[in-house]
Amino acid sequence: MAKSKYEYVKNFETEKKLLPNCWIVVRIDGRAFHQFSTKHKFKKPNDENALALMNRAASVVMDEFKDILLSYGQSDEYSFVIRKDTTLYNRRGPKIMTYINSLFSTSYVYYWSHYFKETRLKYPPAFDARIILYPTDENLRDYLSWRQADCHINNLYNTTFWALVLKGGLTNTEAEKRLCGTLSSDKNEILFSEFNTNYNNEPIMYRKGTILIRKRIKNPEHGKMRQVILPLHEDMIQDNFWQKHSEILAIKS
Amino acid sequence: MAKSKYEYVKNFETEKKLLPNCWIVVRIDGRAFHQFSTKHKFKKPNDENALALMNRAASVVMDEFKDILLSYGQSDEYSFVIRKDTTLYNRRGPKIMTYINSLFSTSYVYYWSHYFKETRLKYPPAFDARIILYPTDENLRDYLSWRQADCHINNLYNTTFWALVLKGGLTNTEAEKRLCGTLSSDKNEILFSEFNTNYNNEPIMYRKGTILIRKRIKNPEHGKMRQVILPLHEDMIQDNFWQKHSEILAIKS
Amino acid sequence: MAKSKYEYVKNFETEKKLLPNCWIVVRIDGRAFHQFSTKHKFKKPNDENALALMNRAASVVMDEFKDILLSYGQSDEYSFVIRKDTTLYNRRGPKIMTYINSLFSTSYVYYWSHYFKETRLKYPPAFDARIILYPTDENLRDYLSWRQADCHINNLYNTTFWALVLKGGLTNTEAEKRLCGTLSSDKNEILFSEFNTNYNNEPIMYRKGTILIRKRIKNPEHGKMRQVILPLHEDMIQDNFWQKHSEILAIKS
Amino acid sequence: MAKSKYEYVKNFETEKKLLPNCWIVVRIDGRAFHQFSTKHKFKKPNDENALALMNRAASVVMDEFKDILLSYGQSDEYSFVIRKDTTLYNRRGPKIMTYINSLFSTSYVYYWSHYFKETRLKYPPAFDARIILYPTDENLRDYLSWRQADCHINNLYNTTFWALVLKGGLTNTEAEKRLCGTLSSDKNEILFSEFNTNYNNEPIMYRKGTILIRKRIKNPEHGKMRQVILPLHEDMIQDNFWQKHSEILAIKS
């Protein structure tokens, strides 16, 4: 049973390294989460526990992979931004991508019951992952702006849609039809005039998603500094965020 | 908050398709499972429950992805063989690889308590994945032979090592030293003469690993045919296996 | 002027190896050869010298790269088939592709005056190259059939088109219009009834393109065997060709 | 002879696009040019005509591909720097690389007799090409510094080596031995004390290589502006060059 006779098959494996000096983004995304959220009775338009669980899973990933500088999550997706000078797994893309995705996935199941005390997890969910390179800080910021703008657009739509359905008594199809072709301003108006809702007063986590960054904070008891993973719900599209947290992009490449 | 302004960042995503008409193998592998098995007190040299859990997770994956024709698992790794003519996710490698890996990972956690009733899962484990193409049936068979030969070599070593430690009273270091440079025949001899163990009588799942294939079987009650995922512990290195299950390689490419 | 300080930039080079055990095809193709052929007054529909020059350039390439088993050329393109077990340049695709393309290109210019005694080369032409993997003999044969069918279709069209223009007195636009939507049988009929031309009697090099293979032949003088590159104008679509030259696909992979 | 039956083979072609917003460098390199230079009696250590021919071939390439901003050549290699925002051939790397390489190659043969009036080209040479991405201006500058430092190191070595051989009467092997382990300062000293040569007075094209850039200049006759390709032999390692020609890196990405 000579193993060596067969070992030539290892040569069929490819091992492409990621281009150096580029920001690395791994984005994970829930598979068929529309159905998953229905089966597990997620609250509409946003389920606070479901989002908290996503954030928890992302925190586990950040705890494990110190080269992740920032993570951003909304809905059933999470993006992990890895330092451009990382040497993690020798910059082998598939290795980085699959470990992050797997750990996020297992953490989601592992911590399910902490966030859903009443609802049993009916089946194991799955997430896919992709890995993307961004050469410049501007490209990276635009990526994050893209995801945060996506969060806003979807959340405004969903908030209005579910107001029409849950409070307005429309069927799903009627609500869809009503919103077809509407602008943001139209949706804001519907919410305000028909449901007495000022969209800007909706919970900021729903409107902006969740940013996880590392910060060194002082322990209030003994005064020692330690690093924590801090959840933020700020606007990353404006410069202000990046000035306030200037250490994120401060890496010398 | 114009999303379109940022959407150019999508162009940085690459979308390489796998070469057509090649066998696709996705192999997943536990991260730091030596430590994981210690922390969770896996029995040595083999933990029946741990292996059964791996098999269960692999079955979930096969249930979901019908284009997986055969899976092979041993220790903390599992290989999934996908039909060479699959059009799954348009043959996008990262998509195929990350979904399979994620679903395996979540299933492992989801079904943990079915197999470990006494031992709580202490932390979420992680698996990496790689994807490999094999152009010919011979290459694919050699791949599977390679993994099964690997299973044999490791299991013979581990069986002897743990006999020396658990029954022979050696320390880990002493056992390692004793086995250093030994041939298979030496290990067989140690097991036989010192521990009255005929290696060939050790459980076949430990010696051969687990092969999962699909078979149509008749329901004993109502006689209807249905497809099941069948675990086998056979020798894939010999021709006999492939003649017996000739449908696996019978795909017309 | 420390070189070492800058050498890190080498890490930005990627070095992907071609999947083992696949047929490798490099196809080169003339850039803007429609214009090139006009400027150099190539005879229409086929210029014997231009094709002979292409064949010569391909022969230089085959002389240099012994792992090319067969080449096939038609019009301004040439395909080179490299043994599936080649270790040429460690199977680095770009290296293989660019050397073949460059040597073909320089040979085309180098031998120009041998084939065009009256027409000076007005400017240096260019060829692009691509590299393609085919896992099975059947895929490779289908590739070559595809190119030879393409040769046939284009040549039948061009032969009819230029008969209409050169002998029939139509303008290019009129000839195009006349042929629009016609089937092969229509074109054969036009040639036969209007120009007394039986397409099947047209020179076979024009109808089938040129296949270059290696053959060992006996020197008629001293009787010693030596290897030559033999030009053939046969039908590669039929099995007959592959039976007759069975050594081409006979490589054990 | 249905072409469509075979067209599926096109799906085996891959078409990877280069990452956006990165500098693209194509470097071509002579194949076996040591032998080529000997066969064609190139003067040692530098053959002015051979270098002028390289520069001419590179100029043809720059004339054709307007997105090349700068080229740098030394010895038998040439690097072409393409704008980071190019959409040339839809950023398909192999297409860009093979066209540039082919046109350089054919131009080298085409213009041979302009530079070598006495020496017939004995056989067609070949060049390989590679394509490399650099995310930042700094990386690109370091790449060019690397090549220019390489030029310096090789030229100092070659100048000293050939002085020892041609003027000092040493055999090649003796000269090699003499130079083994020497520093730059040692070689400068040999040149100065033994051959009365101040290396810094050697022709600057040999010491720095050739940079080709585009400049708009005024026609001295009619005063109209036009773009020309300008050869420079300056130091690209210092900031001064980049300040003087600040338009090169001025592209807004």
Asked if B103's CB is within 8 angstroms of A106's CB, the reply is no
- Dump pLDDT digits (tens) for D42-68: 999 999 999 999 999 999 999 999 999
Residue D148 to residues C7, C188, D22, D204, D211: CA-CA distances in angstroms?
12, 62, 21, 12, 10
Residue of C nearest to B133 (CA): C19
Asked if A14's CB is within 8 angstroms of C16's CB, the reply is yes
Superfamily (CATH) of domain B17-244: tRNA(His) guanylyltransferase (Thg1) (3.30.70.3000)
Asked if C253's CB is within 8 angstroms of B133's CB, the reply is no
**Partner A contacted by C12 (CB < 8 A):** yes
User: Which pLDDT belongs to residue C222?
Assistant: 86
Distance CA C140, CA C135 (A): 8
CATH 3.30.70.3000, domain D18-145+210-244, yes or no:
yes
Contacts of B253 in chain C (CB under 8 A): 135-136, 138
What is the H or E stretch that residue A133 is in?
strand A127-134
Amino acid at B167: K
Asked if D20's CB is within 8 angstroms of B16's CB, the reply is no
Distance CA B199, CA B163 (A): 11
- Determine the distance in angstroms separating the CA of D236 from the nearest CA of chain A, rounded to an integer: 21
Q: Tell me what ipTM this predicted complex has.
A: 0.94
* Nearest CB to B124 within list A106, A125, A130: A106
**Partner C contacted by A20 (CB < 8 A):** yes
Longest dimension (CA), chain A: 77
User: Which pLDDT belongs to residue D92?
Assistant: 97
Mutate to test the interface with C, among B132, B139, B141 (most CBs of C within 10 A): B139
- Determine the distance in angstroms separating the CA of B5 from the nearest CA of chain C, rounded to an integer: 30
Asked if B133's CB is within 8 angstroms of C136's CB, the reply is no
- Determine the distance in angstroms separating the CA of A10 from the nearest CA of chain C, rounded to an integer: 10
Asked if A12's CB is within 8 angstroms of B134's CB, the reply is yes
- Dump pLDDT digits (tens) for D198-221: 999 999 999 999 999 999 888 888
Mean pLDDT of A30-47: 97
Contacts of C11 in chain A (CB under 8 A): 20
**Partner A contacted by C85 (CB < 8 A):** no
For A197, phi and psi rounded to 5 degrees?
A: -115, 125
Contacts of B21 in chain D (CB under 8 A): 12
- Dump pLDDT digits (tens) for C90-122: 999 999 999 999 999 999 999 999 999 999 999
- Determine the distance in angstroms separating the CA of C201 from the nearest CA of chain B, rounded to an integer: 38
What is the H or E stretch that residue D60 is in?
helix D48-64
**Partner B contacted by A134 (CB < 8 A):** yes
A153: Cβ contacts below 8 Å, ≥ 6 apart: A184, B1, B3
Measure CA of the first residue to CA of the last residue in chain D; give whole Å: 50
What is the H or E stretch that residue C27 is in?
strand C23-30
Q: Where do runs of H (alpha helix) occur along A126-171?
A: 137-162
User: Which pLDDT belongs to residue B252?
Assistant: 58
> Residue C61: pLDDT above 80?
yes
Asked if B19's CB is within 8 angstroms of C133's CB, the reply is yes
Mean pLDDT of D112-123: 97
What is the SS3 assignment for C132? strand
**A220 — pLDDT class (breaks 50, 70, 90):** confident
**C15 — pLDDT class (breaks 50, 70, 90):** confident
For D17, phi and psi rounded to 5 degrees?
A: -95, 145
Mutate to test the interface with B, among C22, C23, C25 (most CBs of B within 10 A): C22
Q: Residue D81: which of D253, D252, D249 has the closest Cα?
A: D249
- Dump pLDDT digits (tens) for B26-77: 999 999 999 999 999 999 999 999 999 999 999 999 999 999 999 999 999 9
Distance CA C186, CA C176 (A): 14
**Partner B contacted by C21 (CB < 8 A):** yes
C118: Cβ contacts below 8 Å, ≥ 6 apart: none
User: Which pLDDT belongs to residue B250?
Assistant: 87
> Residue D116: pLDDT above 90?
yes
Contact between B111 and B56 under an 8 Å Cβ cutoff? The reply is yes
Mean pLDDT of A86-92: 97
> Residue A253: pLDDT above 70?
no
**A235 — pLDDT class (breaks 50, 70, 90):** very high
**A194 — pLDDT class (breaks 50, 70, 90):** very high
For C94, phi and psi rounded to 5 degrees?
A: -60, -40
Q: Residue A237: which of B9, B3, B12 has the closest Cα?
A: B3
Q: Residue B96: which of B121, B75, B65 has the closest Cα?
A: B65
> Residue B253: pLDDT above 60?
no
For C230, phi and psi rounded to 5 degrees?
A: -105, 125
- Dump pLDDT digits (tens) for D158-175: 999 999 999 999 999 999
Asked if C9's CB is within 8 angstroms of D142's CB, the reply is yes
User: Which pLDDT belongs to residue D143?
Assistant: 98
> Residue A190: pLDDT above 70?
yes
D134: Cβ contacts below 8 Å, ≥ 6 apart: C9, C12, D22, D23, D25, D140, D143
Asked if A135's CB is within 8 angstroms of D136's CB, the reply is yes
- Determine the distance in angstroms separating the CA of D24 from the nearest CA of chain B, rounded to an integer: 15
**C1 — pLDDT class (breaks 50, 70, 90):** low
- Dump pLDDT digits (tens) for B165-200: 999 999 999 999 999 999 999 999 999 999 999 999
- Dump pLDDT digits (tens) for A110-169: 999 999 999 999 999 999 999 999 999 999 999 999 999 999 999 999 999 999 999 999
Q: Residue C122: which of C31, C57, C35 has the closest Cα?
A: C35
Q: Residue B85: which of A46, A90, C136 has the closest Cα?
A: C136
Strand order in the sheet with D127-134: D127-134, D23-30, D77-82, D68-74, D210-218, D225-232
User: From 3.60.20.10, 3.40.640.10, 3.30.70.3000, 3.40.50.2300, which CATH number describes the A18-152+205-244 domain?
Assistant: 3.30.70.3000
User: Which pLDDT belongs to residue C252?
Assistant: 57
Q: Which fold has domain C20-144+210-244?
A: Alpha-Beta Plaits (3.30.70)
- Determine the distance in angstroms separating the CA of B210 from the nearest CA of chain A, rounded to an integer: 17
> Residue B236: pLDDT above 70?
yes
Subunits that touch chain C (at least 3 Cβ pairs < 8 angstroms)? A, B, D
**Partner D contacted by B135 (CB < 8 A):** no
Q: DSSP labels for D203-233?
A: -HHHHH-EEEEEEEEE-TTT--EEEEEEEE-
User: Which pLDDT belongs to residue C87?
Assistant: 97
Mean pLDDT of A181-198: 96
**Partner B contacted by D19 (CB < 8 A):** yes
Mean pLDDT of C209-216: 96
Distance CA B83, CA A69 (A): 39
User: Which pLDDT belongs to residue A2?
Assistant: 67
> Residue D252: pLDDT above 90?
no
Domain residue limits, chain C = 20-144+210-244
Mutate to test the interface with C, among D105, D121, D141 (most CBs of C within 10 A): D105
- Dump pLDDT digits (tens) for B78-129: 999 999 999 999 999 999 999 999 999 999 999 999 999 999 999 999 999 9
Q: Where do runs of H (alpha helix) occur along B33-92?
A: 33-39, 48-64
Cβ-Cβ pairs closer than 8 A, A with D, add up to: 27
DSSP state of A92: B
